[in-house]
Amino acid sequence: MVRKNWLQALLVFMALLMATASQMAWAQEKDVCWKSTYGRGVGEVPDSCRPGLERNGALCYEQCRPGFLGNGPVCWGSCPAGMQDMGAFCAKPEPSYGRTAGYVDLAQCRREHAQGCEQDGLLQYPRCKAGYTGRGPVCWSTQACPAGFAEAGLTCTKPSYGRGAGEPLVCSAGKQADAGLCYQGCRPGFDGAGPVCWGRCQGEYGFECGGLCAIDQAMCVKATADMVIASLETIGTLVGTVVTGGAAGAAKAAASTAARIATRGIAKEAAKAAIRDAARKAGQSYTEMQLENMALASVGQDFDPTMLDPTGIASLVKAFNKPICNEPGASTANTRRPIDMLTVLTADRFQFVDWNGRQLNAGRSGNNFTVGAGTQPGGESNALRYVAADGQRWVAFLTPDGFIHQPGADEGKQVNGRLVNSHQDWYMEYRGWDGGLYRASWGALVKKWQVTRR
């Protein structure tokens, strides 16, 4: 029961942390910035050959000489007109035909067959036409095989030669190979890694630091160390709390959460008194700094969430709170915007602008959107027409855990069951009612939209 209560308290705290994230007034470190990124869709299996080769099955081979056709690593001669292709052989045209069962009377045979008759064994048979020789009641073809083909009775064996073991398929023109899959090439100034394009470090933040760009190596080492240490400390705190039953952490979280709910709308000093009383009843004591920040949080003012955190999660978030680097090629190299994890909002619907500039909202029903005007709920739609960050018109379709995006000019067009020029991603970036750039993703656990302002 103690462990269950501790977990409930932890979840309440995390919800509080996220719900009030937009109020956090932490100063962002300016020693490093997160690389600018964007998705480039799901990778595809290679399906092309380099110039001069032809595809045969799952490999690429040298093209065969004129008069030959390739089958795997072998080039086989083509059957001439009139001959039937039988794989490694070509069947001669009409290789045989019957010439009656034979006659005992030569005169009768000659009367019935103007070409004359010939004896074979004890019987008389009509003579075979040109290009055939008789054997009993059958005329067999004596046609010679074409030059280069070997005689094989009623067939001709094709000439052949080897053309190598073959090469693996490669990505088509304009696509980039990465870990066995093909992706759209990244924009100038970006490098691809799987389905993500990462901006290169430039200007003041020109030192490469993994997913970050730093002023220099020392700042890279410091920022990385801060993140690693914060992560390890948080994991250690959580594990230790579970092992001990969470007595201290649960009491702190429960007391602060209960006080916040009980004092909503009350002046700060009254809130502080209520929190102090709740703590006393829970058998806990807080410093004046902790009481001050709890009171500020409960009345909706700016506060330091690390003072309220029984787990170290807020400190972990703070360690990762770095600005995002400006996109490569932008006019101002040091322009930065806040990182998304500190502006997350959870909502049933998000607000966007459609192609006609109308202010609409979008919800979700299964794998369909619900689209309404203004703040009013609306009907279901399988597609969402939105304006992207660059002002271009796009269409979004829902998947169980993300979106399929297609340029507006290609809306609904398909080739072999695939939407033309489409790509899949876990989020959708769009223009909001205020003209700002937002990102929406689907929270499968909470069944709500996770909306961030970029």
Q: Is a pLDDT exceeding 70 seen at residue 19?
A: no
Measured CA to CA, the distance from residue 200 to residue 250 in angstroms comes to 44
Confidence of residue 337 (pLDDT cuts 50, 70, 90): very low
In the prediction, which pLDDT does 94 show? 76
Are 156 and 146 spatial neighbours (Cβ–Cβ below 8 Å)?
yes
pLDDT > 50? residue 7: no
State mean pLDDT over 31-52.
Answer: 86
Do β-strands 59-62 and 167-168 pair in parallel, antiparallel, or remain unpaired?
antiparallel
> pLDDT, tens digit, for every residue of 148-189?
899 887 789 999 999 999 999 999 888 889 888 999 888 888
- pLDDT score recorded for residue 30: 62
C-alpha 54/C-alpha 68 separation (Å) is 13
**What confidence score (pLDDT) does residue 27 get?**
44
More confidently predicted of 261 and 400: 400
What mean pLDDT do residues 278-289 have?
67
State residue 435's pLDDT score: 87
Residue 6 pLDDT grade (very low, low, confident, very high; cuts 50, 70, 90): very low
Tell me what the pLDDT averaged over the chain comes to: 77
Q: How far is CA 401 from CA 262, 364, 397, in A?
A: 37, 12, 11
Is residue 46's pLDDT more than 90? yes
Q: Among positive and negative, which fits the CA dihedral 285, 286, 288, 291?
A: negative
Range of lowest pLDDT (122-126, 223-227, 294-298): 294-298
Give the span between the Cα atoms of 382 and 396, in whole angstroms.
9
From 9-23, 45-59, 111-125, 367-381, the region with the lowest mean pLDDT: 9-23
Average of per-residue pLDDT across 347-368: 92
The candidate with the shortest Cα–Cα distance to 232, out of 244, 221, 243, 224, is 224
pLDDT of residue 344: 56
pLDDT digits (tens, 9 = 90+) for 78-94: 998 888 898 899 988 77
Q: Quote the pLDDT of residue 252.
A: 43
* DSSP 3-state of 248: helix
Q: Tokens 């040298």 label which residue?
A: 62
Predicted pLDDT of residue 93: 78
Beta bridge partners of 139: 97, 134
pLDDT of the residue at 147: 86
pTM: 0.42
DSSP letter string over 332-399? -TT--B--GGGS-EEES-EEEE-TT--EEEEEEETTEEEEEETTS--EEES-EEEE-TTS-EEEEEEE
Show the tokens assigned to 129: 């036409």
Q: Is 333 exposed, middle or buried (0-12, 13-18, 19+ CB in 10 A)?
A: middle
- Percent of the chain beyond pLDDT 70? 69
